[in-house]
Structures are given as C-alpha cells and as structure tokens.
Amino acid sequence: MLRFLDAGESHGKALVSIIEGLPSNIKIDLDYINSELGRRQKGYGRGARMKIEQDKAQIWSGVRGMVTTGSPITMVIYNKDYDNWKDILESKPEEDKKITVPRPGHGDLVGFLKYKTGDIRDVIERTSARETAIRTAVGALCKSILEELDITIRSKVNSIGTIQDEEADLFDNSNYKIIEESELRCYNKNIEAKMKNQIDICKENGDTIGGSIFISMKGIPAGIGSYSQWDRKLDAVLSFAVMSVQGIKAIEFGNGLSQSLTGSRFNDEIYYENNKIERKTNNCGGIEAGVSNGENIELKAFMKPIPTVRQSIASIDLKTKTNVTNRYERSDVCGVVPASIVLENVCAFEILKEMLNKFPGDNFMEFKRSIEQYRNEIYTY
C-alpha cells in the first residue's frame, strides 16, 4: 500500500516525508518535482514568505541513480527562513514571550487546549500551510509517475470571492497555456483583472479573500475505487485528501451541487459509439457508486479566506482571561492560486495509491503492464 508521513514546522530546519510502497525501477524526475514546488510558490496575492523561500526537494533514500529501489523514499525541503527563527524555536520562551492570544479561524485555540504546551507558537508551526510544500513534493513524484501511465491532472482557479472565471477545456493545450501564464490561473483575462482588483481592495483594507478551484483528471480507467466498503469509495478517498488541505472547507464532484437538474437530466446517459462505451455529459464527475467510470474525474474545491487579517477582530487572552483583539502574523491575502497546485498533487497521490491497490506490482514494468492489459480488455468490452 502506498502511504507517507510528513514532519516539520513552518519555520523549523526542514520539512520531511517518508514515502513507502512505490515499485522499483521508476525513474525519478527531480526537475519535475521542483517545478511543481515552483508553481506552488506563485500567484497574485502571495505574501512576503515566498520571497524568502526557494523550495527545492532533496531525496535522501530509496533511490539509486535516481531510480527507485522499492525501499522507502525520504524527501527533504529545507526552510531558508529557519535562520531567522532558530533562536525562537530552539528554546523554551519566557512566560511573557509566550503567545496566548488565539487568532480566530486558525488552529490556535483548539491546539492550545488540546496539547497544553502553554504557547500557541507550537500550534502555529504545525498547522501552517507551509506543510503543503512537502505534500506537493510527494504528490509531484506521484504525478510524474501517473503521466508515464497516460494519466494527467490539471487545475484552474474557478472563482475569487464572487467573481467567476469562465469554463475552459483544461486538456486543450492552448487553453491551458493561457491558464498557466495567468497570475491567477484563470482563463478569461478580463475576469482576471476584476479578480486582481478584488484582491487589491482586500489588501488595502487589511482583509483576505477565498475562492474555488476546478480540478480535472484525465486517463483514469473505469473500475478504480470500490463500492464494496464505504471507506474504499473513490470520491470518499479524494474528499478526505482534498479536505485535509489547509483552508479547504467544501468539495463538489461534477455538478453535484446543481439544483436545476432533475434526475433524468443529471444522469450521464450511456451509448455505444464506434464499438466503445461513450457518454455525452459528465454530471457525476467521472465517479459512480464510488468507482471511476472512465470519464474525466472532475471536482471543485472551495477555499475559505485566509483567517489571518490585519483588521481588528475579537479574541481572548488565555493567560489574563480578558477580551482583546486578535494578533497579526505574516500572511497571504489570497491563497487560492497556490492551493490549486497543492490540490493537483494531493489528488495525484491518491490516484496513484488507488491504481497500485488495483494493480499491485513490485516493479514498475509489472505495474505498467497490468494497467495496459486491463485497459485493452475494458475498452473493448
């Protein structure tokens, strides 16, 4: 079974992951992984931290000559900002230096109450979205493997606040080039300008703004996932992963939130065309009964506004037990663009895991051969 753990603090020495379950003989493309980390650092509305960090992953184990051996893979990303924080993080603070005012919307209060270290700094360091850098690196490794299997995952920003971008075919390369070159990863330039203006207004007002992200996954064969147990359903697996990303508060598959479609119009009718099973709609988002149906798997993820705001909002001081206003810590104004890259790679890990569950193999040639044989059988049914 493919799995990983990650560790590290936002301003600690490094972020680390150990990945277990990858077959041997997979060529690792470190440039691809680092390019995904670079994509994550871009975007209109990003904060000052991205001017400090230049994220690059290192691989410390599980490869030889940049080819997997079947052993656990260790990946490391050093935090450059650690040099500015090591005096704070390597010693216990004096009582008057402890953070005791929680920021509403963050994990500050619940972490303080749960772990009782007496200092919210310990909570901030692990709940920070900085953790998504190592998750992106893990996912990028998986995403590059999926591309070897003709599975592609792409995304775009669907909305910023109430401003909606227009729809676009992500697998039309000319469309996707426009999206990739956009600072807000959207398709319509006029809409992009409106989105930027909204972000600028929030920045000026000491506020933040959220939005939504559209993700499409092409090339996943029918039959991935299972309806036999609730926790093996593919949409449930993807939902768990997507919702675990900081700031994501809702998810929709296909047109699942549409209130205008009746059952007869929502169902994706099935046809035989050219001796192949075809669909003309994809309202279910490529998943039926928890199992992929061969269409693109499509979902939207909704991200709340980043809770760190410069405006004064009500909070409490846990030490003095008085009502105060919140404290501010460096933050982005809008995190929707980097979240789109994180989610591509988070989904890649889950899809590769499900592919390995269905087509287990100790080496990549065996794994790939099983998938090719399955595709030949299922698509000629």
The annotation places the binding site for FMN at 126-128, 246-247, 289, 304-308, 330
Task: Encode 97-115: b = buried (16+ Cβ within 10 Å), e = exposed.
Answer: ebbbbbbebbbbbebbeee
Helix axes 336-358, 364-378, angle to 10 degrees: 90
Helix, strand or coil, per DSSP, at residue 381: coil
Residue 357: how many CB atoms within 10 A of its CB?
16
Which residues fall in the annotated binding site?
40, 46, 126-128, 246-247, 289, 304-308, 330
Residue 195 contacts residue 184 (beta carbons within 8 Å)? yes
Alpha carbons 374 and 223: distance in angstroms, whole number? 10
Contacts of 115 (CB under 8 A, 6+ apart): 122, 123
**Could you tell me where the DSSP H helices lie in 116-188?**
121-127, 132-148, 173-181
Are β-strands 67-68 and 287-288 bridged in parallel, bridged antiparallel, or unpaired?
Answer: unpaired
Nearest to 330 by CA among 90, 43, 103: 103
Which residues fall in the annotated binding site for NADP(+)?
40, 46
Are β-strands 314-317 and 322-325 bridged in parallel, bridged antiparallel, or unpaired?
Answer: antiparallel
Strand runs (DSSP E) across the chain, as ranges? 3-7, 14-20, 57-61, 63-64, 67-68, 73-78, 152-160, 163-164, 211-218, 248-253, 270-273, 276-279, 287-288, 291-292, 297-303, 314-317, 322-325
Alpha carbons 179 and 174: distance in angstroms, whole number? 9
Residue 333 contacts residue 240 (beta carbons within 8 Å)? no
